[in-house]
Structure 1
């Protein structure tokens, strides 16, 4: 019995010694492997939370927005006759350029011409009667009433002449402005009712672009502002437009405002109906402060960032929550108007570990590989053990045929049609 107790006491003592040794070894290993980097171990011996940071950068920021629009003619009209008639003669070809007042289509005017001649004859008789009555009144051969009646008859004859001339003129279809005619819808001999389509005319010296912007930009866009257009049908050819007008009515369905711009098209490169991508620039700031958008922490209607600043102890970094005012947002970046300065470090990942200000942090760089950095690949000539006598083949670059540059549009002269009053 005593023999068994002896071995039990020895086993218990061995277990105690092994436990103490394990505890001592564990504490020694933890203390020896504690990081010595700045901000790595705060007071209390616990490992500081790891965060990723980014510097507040200074760039040239362009405050702009993009939208889509459609091109339309500055002036466009479908010519239609005001009176019915038969087409007597057509003086234009499809796609022809015409001048203002040029005769395009002539309707049959035989009857109206005869009415005009009749009105002229009646006017001549009324005028002769009125002159004769004036002479007779001067000699007291007739009453003044007869003179008044002849004067009224003269006015009626003049009105009939003007009416006949106006009716005859309406049978002439003329160009209301300078432009290019489209495709004719009629032929010689067609009988047209009043209001029938004849041909369209488009003023292509300047084209308009209509696009819409969100309502938050209605205070930024102003007439005279410059915009840039990219046309899918003409890749690589940007066009400049001048904002002519902003619609005072906000669309209640889309909460957007309509904008109309004008493009100088005297080179005749653009056509109405084209699809356009419009880039509107509101301003350019040369030294704008920007940070990655993942550094923004919205909370309670305000915007914060967590800045990393030096701690009270040497070689330590702590967190500091700062309220900021944001400006323009771009893909991946946010402009900071107030709250930060150039060169400040802000946390981009690990915000959830920082519950209060003054928390010690450990900055890590996740862009670097976790393992040892790979040695740069050396060229065969400089690699150790490379055969010096083995010649390396030299690849001859293929010479691509030189493509002929597209001919530039001919220069145009004269004032910009978009700047005309």
Structure 2
């Protein structure tokens, strides 16, 4: 029994010693792993610091840059030149005189048409003849009525004169004389009224003659004999005077302060391959509630190829300077200090790229106006600047 107890105690002691040895090995392994991770982290940090110092040294140490391979770039010399900014818009050709012919009266049934589409007509030329039968009868009746009244007036005057002669000889009564004079006055007033009625009837008769109120080309003739003519555009005559043409465009309201009457305009009509120079001749006095813009007009010279409603490209010159420094807009870069370009300067025997802070002005197309930071004669990097850094050696030869 005692030997059995001793054996059990011995086994327990052996197991305890083995367990303690295993824990010690695990602790040592974890410690080594931790030390390895720490060293790797320190190595990465040192490597980053070394690379950073090498880059800074490459930028600052010119002797080191000599050994560096120069980067191939394309350079351009800055010079003073004229610069113009345009507002590019779309417009249309329009005519000063586009007239839709209408009757002077209520209109009527068409009896004859005296114009064809494409025909040139003069101001006052007869275009249509409307039904005038009833109006003409009214004129004839009015004239006949006045002729009868004139006969009555002649008789009344003769009676009055005889009565007056008798009255001068103290024959007859004063009442007879006054009655004869009244008859003359009434008939004279009646004739005046009839004359006015005749003028009205003749004016009504004239309205049956539809004439052109302008000179131009009959662009549309949409009326035929037997139809009712009221002057509606869909059933009438359109006269276009192409001697006075203009281009009309809608300008956004934010350009209101930059455009005025007399502003130069370059007009291109692509459909006829023509370009015209003009000036703003009219600016509307209100802003459209729908387009948030205002209308601007510019006259164009007479041209047989120009037609109303042709599409036109309108370039309004809102800024121009004869002495400007400009650069390609794609060379402009930005950092925390602002806008800059890379210029090439001579340092020792090398051409070195340097950052140059600039102040910019207007942009049109691919050219950007430079207000400050560059001057005539400076050399800028126009291609290959994307990966350049300040101080890097550059070359224009492969």
TM-score, normalization by structure 1: 0.62
192, 199, 205: which is aligned to 2:228?
Answer: 192
Higher helix share: 2
61, 83, 87: which is aligned to 1:41?
Answer: 61
Q: Which whole-Å deviations, capped at 9, do the CAs of 1:254-290 have from their partners, x for residues lacking one?
A: 443321222222x421112212222333455333210
Secondary structure, aligned partner of 2:287 = strand
**Considering only CA atoms, is the larger Rg found in Structure 1 or Structure 2?**
2
Point out where structure 2 has 5 or more consecutive residues left out of the alignment.
1-53, 165-173
Which whole-Å CA distance do the structure 2 matches of 1:225 and 1:361 have between them? 46
71, 88, 91: which is aligned to 2:111?
Answer: 88
Which whole-Å CA distance do the structure 1 matches of 2:140 and 2:374 have between them? 88
Q: Which residue in the other structure is 2:366 paired with?
A: 332
CA shift for structure 1 position 164: 0.7
Indicate how the Cα distance of structure 1 residues 336 and 256 shifts in structure 2: closer, same or farther if over 3 A, else same.
farther
Q: Which residue in the other structure is 2:33 paired with?
A: none
296, 309, 314: which is aligned to 1:273?
Answer: 309
Asked if 1:341 is matched to 2:379, the reply is: no
Indicate how the Cα distance of structure 1 residues 275 and 310 shifts in structure 2: closer, same or farther if over 3 A, else same.
closer
Which whole-Å CA distance do the structure 2 matches of 1:284 and 1:71 have between them? 26
Secondary structure, aligned partner of 1:161 = helix
* Aligned ranges 1:109-124 → 2 under 5 Å: 109-124=132-147
Q: Which residue in the other structure is 1:208 paired with?
A: 246
Indicate how the Cα distance of structure 1 residues 191 and 310 shifts in structure 2: closer, same or farther if over 3 A, else same.
closer
How many residues are aligned here?
Answer: 323
Which whole-Å CA distance do the structure 1 matches of 2:299 and 2:354 have between them? 56
Q: Which residue in the other structure is 1:172 paired with?
A: 209
Q: Which residue in the other structure is 1:251 paired with?
A: 288
Secondary structure, aligned partner of 2:392 = strand
Q: Which whole-Å deviations, capped at 9, do the CAs of 1:307-327 have from their partners, x for residues lacking one?
A: 7597999988754534x1x33
Which whole-Å CA distance do the structure 2 matches of 1:297 and 1:152 have between them? 94
Q: Which residue in the other structure is 1:305 paired with?
A: 340
CA shift for structure 1 position 295: 4.3
* Aligned ranges 1:23-42 → 2 under 5 Å: 41=61
Q: Which residue in the other structure is 2:6 paired with?
A: none
63, 71, 77: which is aligned to 2:93?
Answer: 71
Which whole-Å CA distance do the structure 1 matches of 2:112 and 2:269 have between them? 40
Indicate how the Cα distance of structure 1 residues 317 and 295 shifts in structure 2: closer, same or farther if over 3 A, else same.
closer
80, 84, 89: which is aligned to 1:58?
Answer: 80
Which whole-Å CA distance do the structure 2 matches of 1:321 and 1:233 have between them? 45
CA shift for structure 1 position 99: 0.4
Which whole-Å CA distance do the structure 1 matches of 2:98 and 2:215 have between them? 10
Q: Which whole-Å deviations, capped at 9, do the CAs of 1:181-233 have from their partners, x for residues lacking one?
A: 13432333x13153452321111112222112333433343334443332232
Which whole-Å CA distance do the structure 1 matches of 2:328 and 2:366 have between them? 6
Over the aligned positions, Cα root-mean-square deviation in angstroms equals 4.4
CA shift for structure 1 position 176: 0.6
Q: Which whole-Å deviations, capped at 9, do the CAs of 1:21-58 have from their partners, x for residues lacking one?
A: xxxxxxxxxx9xx98xxx77259999999897764332
Q: More deviation in 86-95 or 129-138? A: 129-138
Q: More deviation in 125-134 or 111-120? A: 125-134
Q: Which residue in the other structure is 1:291 paired with?
A: 327
CA shift for structure 1 position 351: 8.7
Which whole-Å CA distance do the structure 1 matches of 2:183 and 2:305 have between them? 69
Secondary structure, aligned partner of 1:218 = helix
Which whole-Å CA distance do the structure 2 matches of 1:241 and 1:318 have between them? 45
91, 100, 103: which is aligned to 2:123?
Answer: 100
Which whole-Å CA distance do the structure 2 matches of 1:98 and 1:45 have between them? 83
Secondary structure, aligned partner of 1:277 = strand
Indicate how the Cα distance of structure 1 residues 69 and 241 shifts in structure 2: closer, same or farther if over 3 A, else same.
same
Point out where structure 1 has 5 or more consecutive residues left out of the alignment.
1-30, 355-359, 374-421
Asked if 1:182 is matched to 2:216, the reply is: no
Contact 1:296 1:303 in 2 (8 A): no
Asked if 1:234 is matched to 2:272, the reply is: yes
